[in-house]
Structures are given as C-alpha cells and as structure tokens.
Structure 1
Amino acid sequence: MKIMTKLVQGFLRAVSALPLGFHYAWSGVFAWLVRDVLHYRRDVVMINLSRAFPDKKYKELRRISDAFYKHFGEILAEAIWFGGCRNPERLHKKRLVEYTNLDAVEAALAVSPGVVVLNSHFGNWELTGGCLTYDYRPESERSKIDVNDIIAVYKPLSSKMWDEIMRVNRCAPVLRDGYTGYVSSLNLLRFALSHKEDKKIYIIPADQCPYRNSTVNDVVDFMHQPTRTMLGGASIAHKLHYSVFYMSLTPVTRGHYEWTFKEICRDASAMTPHSIMQEYYNLLQADLEKHPENYLWTHKRWK
C-alpha cells in the first residue's frame, strides 16, 4: 500500500509541475470522455438537475449538464496543478483565487472566540488549502493569521491510500510550514473543544450527506426539496459562540475564482444550528441559481 501510494504521489507530482494551461488542454478531452464515451453518472446528473430546477426545460438542463462536465474536468485539472504548488509563490503569482473581503473574517476573529467558515462543493473546493496565499495585499498589510490556526476539516475517504494522497495534495502550499490543521470531521468536536481557548478558523464542508450512523443531523429546504444535512459545524459554533460565514468560491473566468465570505451570524449562540444551516443552504442555493453548472452534480445528494 505504501509503495503504491508513493508511486501515485510521484506521478502526480511530476505531472503537476506542468503549466496550468497544459492541464486545461487535457481537461476538455477528459470532460468529453466521461460525458460522451463513459457516460459517467449522466443519469444522476440529469435527475439532480431536474429536481433542483423543476421549471427548466429538458434542453436547458442538458446545456447545464454539458457545461457541468466541462467544469468537472477543470476542477480535476486545477486540483492536480495545485498539488505541485509546494512553493506557495507559484500559486501566489498565478492569482487563481482572489478574495473580495478577507477583512470581514479578520474583523470577526478580532471580536469572536473563533470563526466557522461553511464550505461547499460549489466552484473548486480543492483550492482552499492555499487560503493565505491568496492575499495579494502589500506584504506589510497581509493577514497575520498563523497558518496552523486555519483548520481544514475533511471527510475521510474509504481508501486509506487515496485519503493520504488527497491530504498531501490539498495541503501542498503549506506542507513546508509543518501544517497541523488538517482535521478529520470524525475528530472535529474533540479537536474544537480541546482548542476552545485558541482563536481558530474552521473551514468545514457542510453540504454533504450526514454519516449513516450520525445522530447530529437535520432536514432543511434546499433547491426546492427536503434535504438531510449535517449539523456538526453549526452546533460547534453555537456552543462556542463563534462567528459563522458562508464561503462562496465563484468562477469568474477560466483560471480565476473570487472567494467571498458572507456572514451568517457574529455569535452563533444567538441562532439555532438548524437556522444557521438553513441560511447556509439559502446562500448556496442563490449561488447555484446564478451558476448552476459549477456545482458537483454527480453525487446522489437527495436519496
């Protein structure tokens, strides 16, 4: 297993050193292959789209589906290239992601015991590991947040090999800093409680289905249908009086995203975890209605 992991990592690292333009070139071929040759989850994508956009006609849904597969290929291309950014200067110079209001989180962290940023599968979530690299202000004005105070929460994969490969890839820009903030969602509560005296920023993917044995979940309205949701991040924020933000990572053009923080509450104890998550899904739905092709439609989100 370790040998195979090293072989795959070595191959990905060699390929990731190639220019981003090269990766975009093959991403189009990849999109065509999975969409038109392999028919990868085409039925799932169309079912999800028809349920999420009941007023759209079939022709429009097919257009969105085709555009989604193009975006899907670009996600993979960008993620592989991102894994080669062991030197964060490479990522910084590319300006792949640009904040619109990083100061909003800095202001919240100054007055709150901590911050929870609820992420989603909109845009390219695999780029969040470069968060401090996307600060393009003059060096004297850049964020003073320590990289290890940014906690990237992830849902473990069933394959230990791919779980390790993805860890290294997602944390590529901060590996040389000895990054310790990559935390499994299974250990999140324990970690948060043991660090409640520390000011941390938790980036939590929140639009996934709850674990099968989860007792901390709820049902919200999302894309015109009842949707089961995890409550973990919202519950922790509620308990610890954290500020909560929705993270919008919006594609502007190919190779450029805008990262916007939308505040849900300054003190989560003033809201219920359910109301926090409902507002999160309202904001996510607004993004999807503007850019429907930029969401991960290949998974059976509604079962």
Structure 2
Amino acid sequence: MIKKGFSYIGIYFLHLLSFLPFWFLYALSDLLYYPVYYLIRYRRQVVRKNLVNAFPDKELAEIIQIEKKHYRYLTDLMFEIVKLSSISKAELLRRVKMKDHEQVQTYLKRGESTLSCTGHYGNWEMCMVVAGIEFYADCNVIYKPINNKVFEGWFNRLRSRFGNTLVAMRQTPRQVITTKNETTMFCFASDQSPVRSEVQYTLNFLNQPTAVLMGLEKIAKQTNRPVFYFEFDRVKRGYYDIITMPLCLDPKQTEMHEITDLFFKHLEQTINKQPEYWLWSHNRWKLNH
C-alpha cells in the first residue's frame, strides 16, 4: 500500500513536470546525464556488454563514445516521455512528422486493415502516439505489461491520450479477432525478448544469435494484412521523422520466418546508422547466457 502511494505521488510530480517547456526539460536532461552515467552508472555493464558484442570490429574508444551518446539521449528520452502527459496535439504534430505513408493510408481508406512494426529506437512512445493521430484507422498499440500497475496505467494514459487503444501482448490474438470487422492498424515493437520457455526462432542480429518474438509474423500470415516498417529519424533534439516503408504486402506468399527476418534486417540497418538511439540498456541477450 505504501509503495502504491509513493507511485501516485511520483506520477503527480511527473505530471507537474510535464508542463515545463522543452528547453527547460532539456536543461534538466543535460544535468541528469552526469549522475546517471558517472555516479548511478545505470545499467552501464549491460550497455557496454551489448555494444561490445554488437560491434566486435569497433575499438573500445568508439564503443565508449557511442555509450556516452546513448546515455545523453536516454535522459532526453525520459523527459520527452514525461512531456507526453500534457503536450498539445498541435505541438506533438509539429515535432513528429509522418513521411511516405500514403500507401498505408490508401489501404486504410479502402477499409483494409494493416500491421506496422518498429523497434525500441528513438522516441518510439511519441511516434506511436502520432501514428494514432495520423492514420485513418483505430491504432492498436501492443505493449508488454510491467510489474508496477500504477505506473503501467500512467504510461497507458500517455499512449492513449489522442485515441490509441492499448493491447497487452498476450491479448493481441483476441483483439485481432474482436476487431476483425473494423479497419485497424496494429503496431508492434517487435525487438523484445521472449521468455525462455516460448522461444520458437533464433536469428543472427547485431552479430549474435538472438531469440525473437514471432507474434507479428503469425498474425500477418493468418490475416494477410500488409506489414509496414516505421523507421525513426531523429532530425534534431525533440524532432523526429517517421519514414513508412513496406515490409511485406502479401504475407501469405512468404516463407516461414521471412517476415521476421525482414524486420530484423531493417532494424539492424536503422541501428547501424545511428546506434546511440537504440535501447541498449535492455538486457536483450540474456537468453544467450
């Protein structure tokens, strides 16, 4: 009960913080970077191990440079997510632009549902909120529940402020069936790690064997909905482009694992361009040990 009370107090504080202007939040981010990186050393061992394994050809000095850039962005990301608590729709659309999404809109305007996928790269939270505003469909965002249900509820309110529907990962097949007569877009963050007992497929991703989720591919092949990849480009601090790319337009014609392989190929290309913006602090390869 005490823990729950502190959670509510923390959420109230974060909501008040969200009313501060971006320039002030970024000043706080600049200050927070130093204790997070040098004193608290938040998941430093995990980040370093992930970077070293992902880029075996890079010298340690370059790895450390990417690592520091990652932590500088991580503190920005924290404040940008907090800002979602009170940001206006107009301000959000000014900062996040959808690009090359006409093909998706054509499907949706015809009443044909689609699937989209991305990774934990850039500000995926902000970009998913914008996708829900921009597309001509009910946007169902798949999420992985967290242990603290108070903070989970807060996160989901941020994600659904402008109309998104939040769907817990294990409820996805049921939601697909429930909404089969509606025009929908289901949005997957498909780079998460499965639990060991549910591993069905392992591929090579960032120079190491990686157990992956198969939910996106299973639903794509069952429903034959076209699949689009969202590539995030951080234009500058607080500004993003979402480039929409067709991943697979006829899933039933694909071979087993083909859609999953395509997704991770695109994500790896995205990460290699600017690696500091991927979520390296996640212990993504824990099943390898």
- Tell me the equivalent position of 2:9: 7
1:257-296 equivalence runs, <5 A? 257-272=240-255, 274-296=257-279
Q: Is 1:225 paired with 2:208?
A: yes
Q: CA deviation at 1:256?
A: 1.1
1:129-140 equivalence runs, <5 A? 129-132=128-131
Give the Cα separation in 2 of the matches to 1:40 and 1:273: 39
- Tell me the equivalent position of 1:88: 89
Q: Specify whether residues 118 and 132 from structure 1 end up closer, same or farther in structure 2 by C-alpha distance, changes over 3 A only.
A: closer
SS in structure 2 opposite 1:122?
A: coil
SS in structure 2 opposite 1:21?
A: helix
Q: Please point out which of 202, 210, 224 is paired with 1:241.
A: 224
Q: Is 1:61 paired with 2:63?
A: yes
Question: In 1, are the aligned partners of 2:227 and 2:246 still within 8 Å (CA)?
Answer: yes
Give the Cα separation in 1 of the matches to 2:164 and 2:76: 28
Q: Is 1:160 paired with 2:149?
A: yes
Question: In 2, are the aligned partners of 1:113 and 1:197 still within 8 Å (CA)?
Answer: no
SS in structure 2 opposite 1:259?
A: strand
Question: In 2, are the aligned partners of 1:91 and 1:133 still within 8 Å (CA)?
Answer: no
Question: In 1, are the aligned partners of 2:128 and 2:159 still within 8 Å (CA)?
Answer: yes
Give the Cα separation in 2 of the matches to 1:182 and 1:55: 40
Q: CA deviation at 1:130?
A: 2.6
Give the Cα separation in 1 of the matches to 2:99 and 2:125: 19
List runs of 5+ in structure 2 lacking aligned partners: none
Q: Specify whether residues 66 and 180 from structure 1 end up closer, same or farther in structure 2 by C-alpha distance, changes over 3 A only.
A: closer
Question: In 2, are the aligned partners of 1:222 and 1:285 still within 8 Å (CA)?
Answer: yes
Q: Is 1:198 paired with 2:191?
A: no
CA RMSD for the aligned pairs? 2.0
Q: Which amino acid aligns with 1:196?
A: K
TM-score, normalised via structure 2 length: 0.91
1:63-78 equivalence runs, <5 A? 63-78=65-80
Q: Which amino acid aligns with 1:89?
A: A
Give the Cα separation in 1 of the matches to 2:253 and 2:155: 36
Counting aligned pairs with the same residue, the percent is 28
Q: Specify whether residues 98 and 164 from structure 1 end up closer, same or farther in structure 2 by C-alpha distance, changes over 3 A only.
A: same
Q: CA deviation at 1:73?
A: 0.7
Q: Is 1:211 paired with 2:188?
A: no
Query: Cα deviation per residue 1:219-239 (whole Å; 9 max; x = unaligned)?
Result: 122112211100012110110
Q: Specify whether residues 184 and 264 from structure 1 end up closer, same or farther in structure 2 by C-alpha distance, changes over 3 A only.
A: same
SS in structure 2 opposite 1:22?
A: helix
Give the Cα separation in 2 of the matches to 1:42 and 1:118: 28
Q: CA deviation at 1:9?
A: 2.9
Question: In 1, are the aligned partners of 2:11 and 2:151 still within 8 Å (CA)?
Answer: no
Q: Specify whether residues 246 and 200 from structure 1 end up closer, same or farther in structure 2 by C-alpha distance, changes over 3 A only.
A: same
Give the Cα separation in 2 of the matches to 1:295 and 1:240: 30
Question: In 2, are the aligned partners of 1:122 and 1:295 still within 8 Å (CA)?
Answer: yes
- Count residues with an aligned counterpart: 284
Q: Specify whether residues 134 and 74 from structure 1 end up closer, same or farther in structure 2 by C-alpha distance, changes over 3 A only.
A: farther
Q: CA deviation at 1:268?
A: 1.2
Give the Cα separation in 1 of the matches to 2:253 and 2:16: 49
The answer to which of 42-51 and 125-134 deviates more is 125-134
Question: In 2, are the aligned partners of 1:112 and 1:267 still within 8 Å (CA)?
Answer: no
Question: In 1, are the aligned partners of 2:84 and 2:158 still within 8 Å (CA)?
Answer: yes
Q: Specify whether residues 134 and 167 from structure 1 end up closer, same or farther in structure 2 by C-alpha distance, changes over 3 A only.
A: closer
Q: Is 1:79 paired with 2:109?
A: no
- Tell me the equivalent position of 2:173: 189
- Tell me the equivalent position of 1:114: 113
Q: Which amino acid aligns with 1:198?
A: E
Query: Cα deviation per residue 1:86-142 (whole Å; 9 max; x = unaligned)?
Result: x423323xx22111112121124356842111121111111134325875xxxxxxx
List runs of 5+ in structure 1 lacking aligned partners: 136-142
